[in-house]
Chains A and B, each alone.
Chain A
Amino acid sequence: MTDNNITEEATMSTSLYERIGGEAAVNAAVELFYRKVLNDYRINRFFGKSDMDKQIAKQKAFFTMAFGGPNNYTGQDMRNAHEHLVKMGLDDSHFDAVMEHLGATLVELNVPADLIAEAAAIAESTRKDVLGK
Chain B
Amino acid sequence: MAILTIEDKTYICQADETVLDALLRENVNIPYACKKGTCHSCIVQSPSTLPPEAAQAGLKNTQKKQRYFLACQCHPEQDMAIKLPDQSEFYTDGTVVANKMLNRNTLLLIIAFKDAFEFNAGQFVNLQRPDGLTRSYSIANTPQESNTLEFHIRRLPGGKFSEWLHDELKVGDIISVSEARGHCFYLPERSGQGLLLIGTGTGLAPLAGILTDALAQGHSGPIYLFHGSREVEDLYRIDEMRQLTQQHQNFHYIPCISGKHVPEGFNRGRVNDVALALLTDLKGWRVFLCGHPDMVNQMKIQTFLKGAASTDIYADAFLATPV
Contacts and interface: CB of A to CB of B under 8 A. Distances in A.
B165 interface: no
A70 B36 contact: yes
B36 A31 contact: no
B38 A69 contact: yes
A64 interface: yes
A69 B35 CA distance: 11
Interface size class of A (residues with CB under 8 A): 20 to 34
Given A23-B58, A49-B297, A52-B297, A35 B36 contact: no
Contacts of B37: 23
A49 B310 CA distance: 14
A56 interface: yes
A106 B182 CA distance: 34
B301 A38 contact: yes
B67 interface: no
Given A35-B305, A39-B305, A51 B34 contact: no
Q: Which of B38, B300, B301, B304 has its CB near the most chain A CB atoms (within 10 A)?
A: B38
Nearest to A44: B301
B160 to A, nearest CB: 27
B33 interface: yes
Contacts of A31: 309-310
A70 B41 CA distance: 14
B40 interface: yes
A72 B72 CA distance: 15
A69 B310 contact: no
B57 interface: yes
Contacts of B116: none
Interface in B37-69: 37-40, 57-58
A72 B34 contact: yes
A71 B297 contact: no
Contacts of A34: 304, 310
Given A23-B57, A31-B309, A61 B300 contact: no
Contacts of B297: 49-52
B266 to A, nearest CB: 29
Q: Which 9 A-B pairs have the closest CB atoms?
A: A70-B36, A52-B300, A64-B38, A60-B38, A56-B310, A52-B301, A23-B37, A70-B34, A23-B58
28 contacts: A23-B36, A23-B58, A26-B38, A27-B58, A30-B310, A31-B309, A34-B304, A34-B310, A35-B304, A35-B305, A38-B305, A39-B305, A52-B297, A52-B300, A52-B301, A53-B310, A57-B39, A57-B40, A60-B38, A61-B34, A61-B38, A61-B39, A64-B36, A69-B36, A70-B36, A70-B38, A72-B33, A72-B34
Interface of B: 33-40, 57-58, 297-298, 300-301, 304-305, 309-310, 313
Given A23-B57, A23-B58, 4 more contacts: A35-B305, A64-B36, A70-B34, A71-B34
